[in-house]
A and B are shown apart, each in its own frame.
Chain A
Amino acid sequence: MALLAGPNGAGKTTLMKVILGLVRPDSGSFEVDGAPVSIDKAWKRRIGYLPEAVTFSDNLSGLQLLRFFARARGVDSKRVDAVLGEVGLGRVRRRAVRSYSRGMRQRLGLGLGVAILAKPELLVLDEPTAGLDQEGLTLLWRVLAEWKEAGRLVLMSTHDLALSERRVDTIHVLREGRVLVKGSAGELRRKAGSTHRVWLDLVDSEAEARRLHDAIRNWGKGSMSLDRGQLRVEVSADELLELMRIQGDFPKAVCGLRVEEPTLDMVYEELLGGEQR
């Protein structure tokens, strides 16, 4: 499961549209497993797509709409009812789409993109989390987890990085049409040099606590502050283990420990900010 991130105009949607044959690039090539791909009907059969902020025709019901996509994709129409139930629209399946809420329309799109479309090898989702309520989000992540388990691929873009970071395998940060950085959430944290915040609650025994404080100060990495018996240290991901080792040398100095990872949003800001600088 790969995530495309980047500011507006970075090229996320354009890249997806190139893959779908909706944008014809001026130059460059498109390869899958090292082999060039031509965007033809055979390729399109391998892909499912859900565009951003899609508004379905008001004249039809959810059932009629899904039946069309089922026919177009050669999927048994009996599956339509099952899928509508799966995306939580079973009870409103005969209602006109115009009466659906935004979240319901997104879930309908999810039905089209994920469940109905003949289980394509690659699923391309442009901002699928936009407009989804909590129930819809839970459904999206459940369906995508099943998709991933089945060995299928997902390429998605989203602005909700915090929501996605534990679920995606690779994150590609784009800027002005090129990949700025890519990797797992952990790798991105390292590349951004984002700091982890560590809080150490010191015990009352001042001597042991003082020795730990001095050891960290002598270590000379990160930044440190002491406030009402709590030591706060900011270190990079690489320095974190070393700090833990130092702390381990003074087992009686600490009665509580909390580590706060930088959020992916913070990492993203740092990466883009660093590039701008």
Chain B
Amino acid sequence: MSRVGLALALHELSERIRDRWVLVISVLFALLASGVSLYGRIAQADLEALTGPSLVTLTALLVPLVALVLSHDAIVGERDRNTLGLLLSLPVSRLEVVAAKYLGRSVALTLAVVVGLGAAMGAGGPSGLRTLVALMGPTILLGLAFLSLGMLVSACTRRQITATSIVVVTWFLLVFFYDLALLGILVISDGAVSQQTISSLVVANPAGLYRLQMMQVFAGPELLRSLGMTVALPSPGTLGLLWTGWLVLPTAASGILLAREKVI
């Protein structure tokens, strides 16, 4: 990345950590995560088996929201403020602008996740380096995937209010509605839709993939099988590909869209 790109990434980071909305939602996440851990400790619950999954439920809801709030105005916000032209008049390519914005916001998001989950662990949540990595890694990937989606929404829209509306709907659809819809399909189809199709559909959604991955961490494959859960976690290679796809493709598409725009 060029000097201008790096300067922009730093600028983005600096701006995001001062954004009141991002601060509010990150603090809320940290408080709720700490609350879940504290409750688990007071109730003397099995840390790995109960507090962990509760934290996962919380992160699966809030981390995509933090990511979408962080990214939805990346391009359209500049357009709204009439600063996109000013930014693109710098000696930097349009693709680099998108990459720098994604990079700066990714660091801000990673900080929010690390602080939030760190607070939860400090409050008595899952401990140990292995658990920490197993929880934080996919949580950050989940956030980056939604950050990437937010970038795409931002590049596709002309007004920030439109982008805000779209990301709210996206969050609702992918985080709440998607699993319910799959369940509905499973019930209504009465076995007509294959298990393989359902498995593929689950992992096609980053929120679904994250939940599945976390279930493996905190419940283990044997417990899941005993509970009748037959959706299997993809192989590490496929898992890597899926996450890479979610991280890279929407951001790359936003870069291409911006680069192809004839009139800024």
Contacts and interface: CB of A to CB of B under 8 A. Distances in A.
Interface in A14-30: 17, 20-24
A232 interface: no
B262 A24 contact: yes
A20 B89 contact: yes
18 contacts: A20-B89, A22-B85, A22-B263, A23-B264, A24-B262, A41-B91, A41-B92, A44-B90, A49-B86, A51-B85, A54-B81, A54-B86, A60-B14, A60-B15, A69-B90, A71-B7, A72-B90, A72-B92
Interface of B: 3-4, 7-8, 10-11, 14-15, 18-20, 80-83, 85-86, 88-93, 262-264
B18 A59 contact: yes
B15 A59 contact: yes
A45 B264 contact: no
Interface residues of A, number: 32
Contacts of B11: 68, 71-72
B93 A41 contact: yes
A42 B2 CA distance: 13
A84 interface: no
Nearest to B16: A59
Closest CB pairs A-B (n = 9): A71-B7, A41-B91, A22-B264, A49-B89, A59-B18, A68-B11, A55-B81, A44-B91, A72-B7
A177 to B, nearest CB: 14
A interface: dominant SS? mixed
Contacts of A41: 91-93
Given A23-B263, A74-B3, A112 B86 contact: yes
Given A44-B89, A44-B90, A49-B89, 7 more contacts: A51-B82, A55-B81, A59-B15, A59-B19, A71-B10, A72-B92, A73-B90
Contacts of B92: 41, 44, 72
